[in-house]
Structure 1
Amino acid sequence: MNLFPGTIAGLLRADALNVSRDPMLMIGIVMSLLPVPLIVIFGPLAETAAHETFGITGVARMLGALAVLMPGAMLGWVTGFMLLEDRDEAVLMALETTPVGRNGFIAYRLVVTIILTLIVSAGIGFFVLPDLPWTTAFLMAIITASHAVLTALFLLAFSANRVEGLALTKLINLALLAPLAALIAPPWRYLAAIVPAFWIGEMAGLSPATLSPLPATLLALATAALFVILLLARLRHRTD
């Protein structure tokens, strides 16, 4: 695997061009940012309406937790779908004969996804959950980045083509609801802890009795690492 600065710059230009030419991928990127203005503008209104109508409080915080996770879901999906396209078009197979290599190319895509997700998710956290310490917002962004990696690898590991990838997207999107499991009384809510994104709800303060941010992040990353190992093992056994 040889990824020199010039090679990385060339790959980044090519990926940016590919994304700009695909309306579906562009929509995915826009969707990762769309919740921010909506929550900033309508969050207080939703909070007031929910409290006056149903006696529910903390709606804006719930929406904020989901918004923090959105970049991981959307950017991870974009990365996974681009890798599926490359596999369908035999690009990944052709890369086996280059210095970059198939695994090097996948690693490059995942690292770029992690960096972008960290930046976007942390920024969203500062806007939609301004009462949280910046360290907590950053730790939540780290968990979101792990969610992006899992999303991309899940699509690549379990989808034979882009059509199957679109079908599996519906299943993957269910993980977006994982932070809301923090609303369930303990110990039952910890059944959802198998999904790393669950800990975002804990750290956002959706429940009065939560684990502190650092242990929650470590547990989320440990779970994500286990899933990454399993997904990579499945990828190694694929013949396509």
Structure 2
Amino acid sequence: MVITQIFKTDAKRIVSDSFMVFMYIAPWVTALIVKAAWVYSGQHYPDISLQQYAWITTLAIALLTPMNMGIVLGFQLLEEKEQGVFRAIAVTPLNNDRYLYYRFAITAIIAIVMTYFVHELLGLVSMNAFNLFLLVCVAAWQIPLQALMIAGIARNTLEGFAMMKSTGFMLLVPMLVLYFFAASKLSWIAGVFPFFWVIKAYQYGLAEQTTSFMICLATGLVYSWVICWALLKRYRSNALK
């Protein structure tokens, strides 16, 4: 079956590439290190309170998972675009759209599971399990967005690395804005970054403000979908040339 063959090829490619392996294991290693440091600090320096940093630390590490997986997928699609794989698939029964949707779906499913367990592994903050599941599902929408920003805009691997660096700001900027300026109405300007809505929903989820939580998730989902649609059209156009 074509899908099975694609999955096996992707798995071999990731395992044989040290950069891709690193991107997959980085959130787990980071979570374990931070968890150990957090416990050590609590035992040896009880006068230092780190609780005010718990939510932003947890979210930063948890969101590394979909971000890193989106970057890995982006480089895979960029490589396939350079090699003409996308053009070849266009004449198969699988066709381009099904191929891309498969790649996005399988990566998103893996990311949802990983992100959920990385969050729980840290254990620095507590959130309703169902709300957390909804949150990581919306966060997984950043995977096609990240991937298509790299594969759709970059023309080669060098430009892909430049795009990878810029996509990091999509997480860093809204996170810093919502940490330092959450009380200011101007913080909503950072809503131009898709990750903003996931981070804002997380804040509302921790505060158990269900209505605001759902609104932010829905906004983030729709907004990310619109951007993905535009980037997908660009990738299709460039990859079929």
TM over 0.5: yes
Counterparts of 1:64-213 in structure 2, within 5 Å, are 64-129=58-123, 130-177=125-172, 178-183=174-179, 184=181, 185-205=183-203, 212-213=212-213
What RMSD in Å do the two structures reach over aligned CA positions? 2.7
Distance 1:227 1:159, change over 3 A: same
Distance 1:10 1:237, change over 3 A: closer
- What corresponds to 1:237 in structure 2? 237
- When structure 1 is superposed on structure 2, of 13-22 and 174-183 the one drifting more is 174-183
- CA distance in structure 2 between the aligned counterparts of 1:152 and 1:50, rounded to whole angstroms: 42
- What corresponds to 1:3 in structure 2? none
The one-letter code matched in structure 2 to 1:96 is A
1:219 aligns with 2:219: yes
Task: Provide Cα deviations, 1:200-221, integer angstroms capped at 9, x if missing partner.
Answer: 3323339979773222211110
The one-letter code matched in structure 1 to 2:108 is I
Specify the SS of the correspondent of 1:203: helix
- CA distance in structure 2 between the aligned counterparts of 1:52 and 1:149, rounded to whole angstroms: 43
- CA distance in structure 2 between the aligned counterparts of 1:79 and 1:193, rounded to whole angstroms: 25
Task: Provide Cα deviations, 1:168-223, integer angstroms capped at 9, x if missing partner.
Answer: 11000112212332221231111112222123332333997977322221111011
TM-score by structure 1 length?
0.86
Identity between Structure 1 and Structure 2 (%): 20
Distance 1:95 1:61, change over 3 A: same
Specify the SS of the correspondent of 1:16: helix
The one-letter code matched in structure 2 to 1:25 is M
CA-CA distance at 1:154 after TM superposition: 0.9
Contact 1:28 1:74 in 2 (8 A): yes
Aligned length: 234
Distance 1:47 1:87, change over 3 A: farther
Ranges in structure 2 where 5+ consecutive residues have no aligned partner: none
Ranges in structure 1 where 5+ consecutive residues have no aligned partner: 1-5
Indicate which of 26, 34, 54 corresponds to 1:60.
Answer: 54
TM-score by structure 2 length?
0.86
- CA distance in structure 1 between the aligned counterparts of 2:7 and 2:41, rounded to whole angstroms: 40
